Amino acid sequence: MEYLIHIAILISIYAILGLSLNLVVGYAGLLSITQAAFYGIGAYTTAILLTSTGLNFFLALIIGIIITAICSLAIGFVLSKFKDDYYALGSFGFNVIIYSIFLNWQSLTRGPLGIPGIPRPSLFGFTFSENIWFLVLSITFLVLVYFISRFITGSSFGRVLKSIREDEEAISVFGYRALWYKLTVFVISAGMAAVAGSLFAVYITFIDPSSFTLTESIFILAIIILGGLANNKGAMIGAACLILLPEILRFVGFPNDIAAQMRQVTYGVILILLMLYRPQGLVGEYRL
C-alpha cells in the first residue's frame, strides 16, 4: 500500500509541474525549458527555511513562491527578447545557470552534499508524517493548481494567451501588450512549479542539485507533450502515464541481468509509438 501511495504522491507533484508548464508552452506557445529551475528554487527555499529557521512549511511555501516569482520575472524579462528556437535555447541556458548556483553556492545550498533532514509539514499541531496524509495534502494542492489553471485558461486572459500563441503580431495590432501577458503567465507558472518543489522537498526529506537538472525540465516537457498540449487534464494524464509506465515495467519479467536496461529501452519505444500514433498527445488540442 505504501508503494501505491508513494506513486500517487509522485504523480500529484508531477501533475502540478505539468499544469504549470502547460500554461507557458501549451497556452502561450513559449517553448520554455526552465521549469526544473523554478521547481528547484521552490524546493531549496523551503528546505533552507525549514532546516535553518524552523519556519512552518506553509509560510516557507509562500516565501518560496514569492522568491521563485521574483526570479522568474527577471528570467522571463530577458527571455522575452527572444523568439521561437532562441527562446528555447535561452531558457535552456537559464536552467544551467540555476543548476550551477545550486551546485556551487555551497554556503547556502551545501552544494553537491544536498540538504538532508527536511521535516514533514505540520499544521496546527498535526504533522503530515504518514504518507496517506501527505497524499491528501499533495492532492489538495493539485486540485487548487488545477482550478487556478482552469480559471486562467478559461478566462479572457487565457484567450489572449492562445492568440499570442497563434499570432503574436496580430494580437498586438489589437492593442494587447503581448510582453505583459507572456511575463505574467511565466511568473504564474514558476510560482506553481515552486509549489511542486516545496512538496517534493518535504516529501523526499532530502534534496540535492541532481534533482533539478535540464533532464528534469525535459521530462516535464515530455509530460505535457504526451498528455496533450493546451489541455489541463492532459497535463495530469501525462504525469500519471510517465510515472506509472516505468513502474509497470518493473513487474515485467525481464532477465535480471538486463532488466533495468530493458525497461529503459521499452519505455523509450512506447513513448515513440505514442508520439507516432498520437502526435497531439493523448488529449491534446495543439501540436508544437
Partner 1 sequence: MTKSTKTILWIVGIVIIVAVAIAATRDSNDAKTIKIGVSVAMTGSAAYIGESYTTGLKAAQKEINAQGGINGKSIELLIEDNKNNAQEGITVFRKLELQKPDLFITTMSTPSIPISPLVKQAGIPLFVSVVFADITSKNENSVSFFPTPDNDARATIQDMVINHVNKVGVLYLNSEYGQASLTSFLKEAKQNNISVISKEAFLNGITDYSTPLAKVLATKPQAIYIIAVASTPIIKQAKTMNSSVVIYANLLPIFGNLVNQDKSTFEGVHLTASTVSIPGTTEYNQIRNQLKDVDPTNTLGYAAVGYDNLYSIKAVLTKDPNTKDFVQTFSRFGPFSGIGGSFILDSRNVGMVLYPVIFKNGVIQEVK
Contacts of 274 (CB under 8 A, 6+ apart): 226, 282
CB nearer partner 1, residue 83 or residue 278:
278
Residue 284: half-sphere exposure toward Cβ, Cα within 13 Å: 26
Dig out the grid coordinates for 46 from the structure: 523551503
Task: Give the residue among 149, 162, 218 at the shortest CA–CA distance from 188.
Answer: 149
Q: Which is nearer to partner 1, 71 or 201 (CB)?
A: 201
User: Does residue 233 bind partner 1 (CB under 8 A)?
Assistant: yes
Nearest distance in Å: CB 4, partner 1: 6
Choose the binding region for partner 1 from 27-35, 47-55, 105-113, 137-145 (rule: CB under 8 A). 105-113
8-state DSSP, 81: T
Q: Which is nearer to partner 1, 72 or 109 (CB)?
A: 109
The answer to whether 282 and 232 are in contact (CB under 8 A) is no
How far apart are alpha carbons 204 and 215 in whole angstroms? 19
Q: What residues between 112 and 131 interact with partner 1 by CB under 8 A?
A: 112-114, 116-117
User: Binding residue for partner 1 (CB under 8 A) from 59, 210, 268, 272?
Assistant: 210
Query: What is the grid cell recorded at 198?
Result: 516545496
Here's the x/- map for partner 1, 56-85, by CB under 8 A: it reads as ------------------------------
Stretch of residues binding partner 1 (CB under 8 A), selected from 23-31, 57-65, 182-190, 197-205? 197-205
* Interface region with partner 1, contact rule CB under 8 A, candidates 15-23, 59-67, 165-173, 255-263: 255-263
Q: Does 208 bind partner 1 (CB under 8 A)?
A: yes
51 near partner 1, judged by CB under 8 A = no
Binding status of residue 282 toward partner 1 by CB under 8 A: yes
Q: Rounded to the nearest 10 degrees, what angle do helices 131-154 and 156-166 cross at?
A: 70
Helix (H) or strand (E) holding 127: strand 126-127
Which of 255, 64, 227, 261 lies closest to 149 in space, CA to CA? Answer: 227
How far, in Å, CA of 131 to CA of 19, rounded? 23
> Is residue 263 a contact residue for partner 1 (CB under 8 A)?
yes
Say whether 122 sits in a helix, a strand or coil.
Answer: strand
* Distance in Å, CB of 93 to partner 1, minimum: 16
The binding site for partner 1 (CB under 8 A) comprises 2-4, 6-7, 10, 103-104, 111-114, 116-117, 200, 204-208, 210-211, 233, 237, 241, 244, 247-248, 250-251, 256, 259-261, 263-264, 278, 282-283
